[in-house]
Structure 1
């Protein structure tokens, strides 16, 4: 198979695995995860779960393993009445492409989403004050002009993504994947279990492309070194804006150090939660997505997943 036809086939089978939009939903807070420095074209894929059983089991014929990373420097998310400007976000996942056209997503052990910390505008005062609930009013009086007013928010994955649509990655206005998340609100008065969304009732995000990304491709050796005859390929998708305004947001729960739901009620009243689908939105600006995989996974059968893992590990600095 010549280089041009190989590129055409690779683009058709992998560019659609556009994970770009996924990163946009990590953007409200801070999470930490161990990362690994990698050489060359492997550089962005620091957390790809190449050692996961589903990835290792991919034979290259019935199942093809790939790595996806998506980052963005900025964006915004609106939940009810509250809008937060977001910082840098990063999503990393493994994708197993099935011969029947379906795909499954494999998250790293520490979760797919990480992001810079973001501060909720107005802090605790803006989130629940003023209030006609005496216990909440007492807290409001204590935190006026205080460092205790600050609230940070962290988006957490609460289960594996689902409903992955391969073709949506190269289209606009079509959901790419469903991502269940919850948002952890952090402030001394809120306690350690204050969340918007839960594991059993998460916020489910279904991002789509607003515009098509710019497309590029590079070829490299297993250790990440650029080489036109390399057995690895990297799809580069840049400059897209992603958005979702279809998701519903449940009310806050678990907030407030034993105040029997009083702070939950105050937060929900002030922020307009729960909030129905269509009243919330998330946007990721200038997303940068990279997808790596074997050029000819069938030639690596039945060990495509194992070879992908070996190549990734050979690039570790």
Structure 2
């Protein structure tokens, strides 16, 4: 009876996380070092099991869990520009509270890792032609492929909020609000060129378009699969997410000290700022796994510590 109750609770939680956090996974940051866990722990290379909020989870009022979500492809449209995304990976800890709310805990090195995406057309497509002399001079240099190539990486711009656990089991309801900014990188843009900022981010609110396939396994603390193991893992595969409700602010910080000239050129050509309804995010074939103690109440008040002990026992 304990296992059935936990499985039902985990399934609901994982469905919500799987459908929403695949979108979160599409957002990228710099690559971080990862551990190599064994067995059923294998996908959870960066779960923040040692974070204070995770360790403090007692297993009764607060239950700790690890979540990983990845997607091989997708796309994001901002104003007039559409960029195809590559491999992505999100890893977070989640503390399920007894009042039905959830607290998201990010790894110290950042929750999001993704391949940078190449912007179609490069700088030529992003700001040329232009009737501004300084921009025209730059455009004339862009026959060099190194100067023309531009990459875009979506980064977190604050902690997620407004998480709705039950939205994961239906379609068309926002699951979580995710503040992000997009880093545009090119030698002529400088190192601080962003669409969105920490204070004025793009806020994504992904919705479930299709339901994932569901699977569940049980395993021992060290990752060895076992029907009577103290750990449970939910596997959700094949879901698609979308958000077409977010607004996009203009670019800023671009152009190596040209006092906003490049910002204006980028914004004019790409149609930024862009109001809600003119932008979209689509994520394909999301793969999500959630792991937690099978009966966290039996190890209260040390559920968080037990989860951390188990994860570390599986790491090479």
Work out whether the TM-score is over 0.5.
Answer: yes
Q: How does 1:21-100 map to 2 (within 5 A)?
A: 21-25=20-24, 27=26, 31-100=30-99
Instruction: Name the count of aligned residue pairs.
Output: 316
Contact 1:21/1:70 (8 A) holds in 2: no
CA distance in 2, matches of 1:48, 1:63: 17
Q: CA deviation at 1:49?
A: 0.6
CA distance in 2, matches of 1:97, 1:27: 23
Contact 2:18/2:288 (8 A) holds in 1: yes
Q: CA deviation at 1:169?
A: 1.4
In structure 2, relative to structure 1, the CA distance for the partners of 1:16 and 1:23 (3 Å cut) is: closer
In structure 2, relative to structure 1, the CA distance for the partners of 1:38 and 1:193 (3 Å cut) is: same
Matched, 1:130 2:120: no
Give the 3-state SS of the residue equivalent to 1:108 in structure 2: coil
The aligned residue for residue 270 of structure 1 is 269
TM-score after normalising by structure 2: 0.96
The aligned residue for residue 104 of structure 1 is 103
In structure 2, relative to structure 1, the CA distance for the partners of 1:236 and 1:119 (3 Å cut) is: same
Q: CA deviation at 1:7?
A: 3.0
CA distance in 2, matches of 1:263, 1:74: 30
The aligned residue for residue 7 of structure 1 is 7
CA distance in 1, matches of 2:136, 2:27: 27
Give the 3-state SS of the residue equivalent to 1:18 in structure 2: helix
Contact 1:219/1:226 (8 A) holds in 2: yes
RMSD: 1.4
Q: CA deviation at 1:20?
A: 3.9
Structure 1: runs of 5 or more not aligned: none
Q: CA deviation at 1:282?
A: 0.6
CA distance in 1, matches of 2:18, 2:9: 19
CA distance in 1, matches of 2:77, 2:110: 23
CA distance in 1, matches of 2:191, 2:2: 57
Structure 2: runs of 5 or more not aligned: none
CA distance in 1, matches of 2:278, 2:5: 45
Contact 1:218/1:233 (8 A) holds in 2: yes
CA distance in 2, matches of 1:205, 1:8: 28
CA distance in 1, matches of 2:226, 2:72: 29
In structure 2, relative to structure 1, the CA distance for the partners of 1:214 and 1:140 (3 Å cut) is: same
CA distance in 1, matches of 2:3, 2:295: 11
